[in-house]
Amino acid sequence: MPSAIQALIACALFASAARAGAAAYGDAKGAALKSPEGVACTAEGRVVVADTGNRRLVSFSLKDSALVPGAVIAFPELGTPSRVQIDSRGNVVALDSRSRRLVRVSDGGGFGGFVTPSGLPQRGAALRGGWFPVSFKIGPGDDFYVVDARRVVVLDRSGKFLREIAGSFSDVAVDEKGAVFAVDGRTGRLFAVEADRAMAGRAAESEGRVSTGDRARRVSTGDRNAGVAAGDGNAGVPAGAKLLAKEVAVFPAAIALAPKGQLAVADSHGHSIVLLSRDGTVVSRRSGMGWTDGRVYYPGQLCADARGDLFVADTGNHRLQVFTPQ
Amino acid sequence: MILALLFSAALLPGADGKLCLSCHQDFAAKLAKPFVHAPLKQGTCTGCHDPHASRHGAMLSAEPTRVCTTCHTSIVPAGAASAHAPAAQGRCTACHDPHAADARFEIVKPGVEGCASCHTALTDGWKRSRHKHASVSCDGCHDPHASREAPKLLRGVEPALCVACHKGLSAKHSGLPVQTARCTGCHDPHGSDQPAMLLEDVHKPLTRGCADCHERGSLSTKAAGAALCNECHAQQVSRMLDASHVHEPLAEGDCLACHAPHASRRRGLVRGEARLVCGSCHADTIRRHDQSETKHPPVAEGECSACHDPHSSENALFLKRADDVQLCGTCHDWQKHSSHPIGPKLLDPRNPNLHVDCLSCHRAHGTPFKHLNPFPTTTELCVKCHPQFKR
């Protein structure tokens, strides 16, 4: 089939998808998304996609159930953005998966500086001094919750180290009270960590142990980990765990807060989005593997707005999808 | 009258064995063998056989898998840590002649030859190896029936089993207290082509002793974790980390998640078979393949690195190539060009941001359906893109 006809079909498909509001395939100029791994959204429906394969960020807005592409953000320091967040002031911060730096975007869409951690406890056993962020979220007070190798590091807005939470995680979600939920794709485990902000301090070093200020209650997904709770005898760490059916979360790679106090988990290898209550009970499982609208293929980061619209970086399908509340 | 008949049917003392031999004259040769099963030696053939009628072959007095345990009750003790399948299943004649043999315990094939009947790969490897476990037969370490305390029929747990014979180990290992370590972490107990029966792939520092990595006289290392590996592999590690997708064990500096620090049977010091090493985290993928209707050889054979870079990659899923057609084509060369139209110039009708490639129709790690098809039939697959042919 001649390439010109193919291009026309592609545009028609893209346009129709944009009007339907189910998926977005490219920016305002029609340049296709490529392996987008990250997405961030505000309660009001502003969306920013980390278009990883194209080394840029693309803004969208949700209007009348349609994703309308907006500005494109690209500059050299952005690198290869894999994760993105929007803070309480509307500023965008992205994680460059190559340099492993948190990059601020200025109001004008340019380079706004790096978030450089200070006072970070060094770990001699790790590479690069033990700073290798793989994901992050912005929590209350615009603190950064950075998923590092075998820990979550909490930094204030300026990058100053506040505390850390030990454990191997793939992603975290933080609610308005500072309660942290973490997911580990390798083991299928879902953690609920209740942060005690009055007790800041350094976490215990070994995996599974938590800081004196952070009590971990392990809620597990899948049967890989039957859930001996984290804890080394620290007071207030309850034993036991909650198991979910393996089919629900084969390889949970990303987590986000959802309305109604729920959690949304992107099941990367299971090609689905799982909604759970905060005690780990599965509420629903949405989508399934596929290439058409409404299906996902190796989903990445996800986020939810106040209405409950779930935005998913549908990485394997090179698009952004939005799932409206049922 | 009846009592008289009954008494007349009884054999005279010592006569039962001779009575059987009067017909079964070939047993005379068996009786001449050096090791004769006690019932046969004592002439009590009826210990195992019913002389009148039987529901079982060879006139056995009980099921073949149970007749031995009427006397040998504790061959496989309850709660054994491991049991030899023939013993556990009552297939005693797999190894023993029930009547007589030239070897002790009426073993049909004594020594390694007997074990080789089933464990061919292991014994062939042992025979070919340059450095064998000297003066040790299989039953030197393995109980042929069951082990109460150890896996793999071992007569004891490591390292106590090894230390029972091998003294002065610390002196042979640069003064390190290896007598408390796991010997098979470095040594192949069945034999190897490496000196000291080290596993085939030996970490180079080990050839110089232990001092490169370990503190003198201690199992503690000179640096912790990946920092130790980085002392020699800094360039390699730096190159691996300079990628957009870094495998989590590497990101965490957990080299030993996949690699053995001393020696391994596998190239690159990979800790074990890839299906087990990779599967320790990616069990879902291995399971999906195990349940797959059609097997994909790289997965079946544990060659995950045929498609994936185990350290890092610029491509999603750590694929070695960005172009799926070229990646699959490294093995399936014919399908690169003699196939359904595929390639970067052909858009996927289902998704304008996708091109038609191998993964448009196949799932590399397996599906419940034939040919790695994600749908039950080929028709159901085709009509996803060609809906005009849907019935």
Identify the H or E element spanning A59.
Answer: strand A56-63
Whether B317 and chain A come into contact, CB under 8 Å, resolves to yes
- CB nearest to A291's CB, from B281, B283, B351: B351
Q: Which pLDDT belongs to residue A219?
A: 40
CA angle A308, A312, A315 (to 5 degrees): 175
pLDDT bin (cut points 50, 70, 90) of residue A215 is very low
What mean pLDDT do residues A210-223 have? 35
Yes or no, beta carbons of A125 and B226 under 8 Å apart: yes
Yes or no, beta carbons of B316 and A126 under 8 Å apart: no
What mean pLDDT do residues A228-236 have? 30
3-state secondary structure of A76: helix
Q: Which pLDDT belongs to residue B12?
A: 63
Q: Which pLDDT belongs to residue A326?
A: 60
Mean pLDDT is lowest, of A203-212, A291-300, B25-34, B174-183, for: A203-212
- Give B383's contacts in chain A (Cβ within 8 Å): none
Mean pLDDT is lowest, of A153-167, A227-241, B45-59, B174-188, for: A227-241
Yes or no, beta carbons of A186 and B351 under 8 Å apart: no
Which residue of B lies nearest to A12 if distances are taken between CA atoms? B352
- CB nearest to A126's CB, from B226, B242, B345: B226
Which residue of A lies nearest to B234 if distances are taken between CA atoms? A127
Question: Alpha-carbon distance B349 to A293, whole Å?
Answer: 12
Which residue of B lies nearest to A37 if distances are taken between CA atoms? B316
Q: Which residue of A3, A122, A127, A128 is the best one to mutate when testing the B interface, meaning the one whose CB has the most B CBs within 10 A?
A: A127
Residue A266's alpha-carbon distances to A191, A218, A272, A303, A315, in angstroms, are: 15, 18, 6, 10, 11
Task: List pLDDT tens digits, range B25-72.
Answer: 888 888 889 999 998 888 888 889 998 999 998 999 888 888 898 888
Question: If phi over 0 gives left and psi between -120 and 50 gives alpha, with beta otherwise, what is residue A261?
Answer: left
Yes or no, beta carbons of A14 and B349 under 8 Å apart: no
Which residue of A lies nearest to B222 if distances are taken between CA atoms? A125
What mean pLDDT do residues B152-171 have? 90
Report the gap between the CA of B47 and the closest CA in chain A (Å).
51
Yes or no, beta carbons of A319 and B353 under 8 Å apart: yes
- Give B236's contacts in chain A (Cβ within 8 Å): none
Report the gap between the CA of B225 and the closest CA in chain A (Å).
4
- Give B253's contacts in chain A (Cβ within 8 Å): 125-127, 130, 149
Which residue of B lies nearest to A35 if distances are taken between CA atoms? B316
Report the gap between the CA of B322 and the closest CA in chain A (Å).
11
Q: Which residue of B238, B244, B323 is the best one to mutate when testing the A interface, meaning the one whose CB has the most A CBs within 10 A?
A: B244
Whether B243 and chain A come into contact, CB under 8 Å, resolves to yes
Yes or no, beta carbons of B252 and A128 under 8 Å apart: no
Q: CB–CB of B356/B341 below 8 Å? A: yes
- The ipTM assigned to this model is 0.78
Predicted TM-score of the model (pTM): 0.78
Mean pLDDT is lowest, of B104-113, B143-152, B334-343, for: B334-343
- Is residue A195 over pLDDT 60? no
Q: CB–CB of B353/B374 below 8 Å? A: no
Residues whose CB is less than 8 angstroms from the CB of residue A103 and which lie 6 or more positions away in sequence, other chains included: A77, A78, A79, A81, A93, A94, A95, A96, A111, A112, A113, A114, A115
Question: Alpha-carbon distance A111 to A91, whole Å?
Answer: 12
- Give A35's contacts in chain B (Cβ within 8 Å): 316
- Give B225's contacts in chain A (Cβ within 8 Å): 124-126
- CB nearest to A13's CB, from B345, B346, B352: B352
Task: List pLDDT tens digits, range A92-103.
Answer: 999 999 999 999
Identify the H or E element spanning B351.
Answer: strand B351-356
Whether B374 and chain A come into contact, CB under 8 Å, resolves to yes
Q: CB neighbours (10 Å) of residue A282?
A: 16
Task: List pLDDT tens digits, range B205-234.
Answer: 988 888 899 988 888 899 888 889 999 999
Task: List pLDDT tens digits, range B360-372.
Answer: 999 999 999 999 9
Yes or no, beta carbons of A124 and B225 under 8 Å apart: yes
Inter-chain contacts counted by CB atoms under 8 A, chains A and B = 108
Phi/psi of residue B143, nearest 5 degrees: -80, 125
Report the gap between the CA of A237 and the closest CA in chain B (Å).
25
Q: How many CA atoms lie within 13 A of A226 on its CB side?
A: 0
Yes or no, beta carbons of B353 and A3 under 8 Å apart: no
Structure tokens at A128: 């690069």
Top-ranked range on mean pLDDT: pick from A111-120, A282-291, B125-134, B194-203: A111-120
- Give B227's contacts in chain A (Cβ within 8 Å): 124-127
Q: Which residue of B252, B318, B373, B385 is the best one to mutate when testing the A interface, meaning the one whose CB has the most A CBs within 10 A?
A: B252
pLDDT bin (cut points 50, 70, 90) of residue A5 is very low
Q: CB–CB of B332/B296 below 8 Å? A: no
Q: Which residue of B232, B284, B317, B319 is the best one to mutate when testing the A interface, meaning the one whose CB has the most A CBs within 10 A?
A: B284
Task: List pLDDT tens digits, range A16-61.
Answer: 333 234 799 999 999 999 999 999 999 888 999 999 999 999 999 9
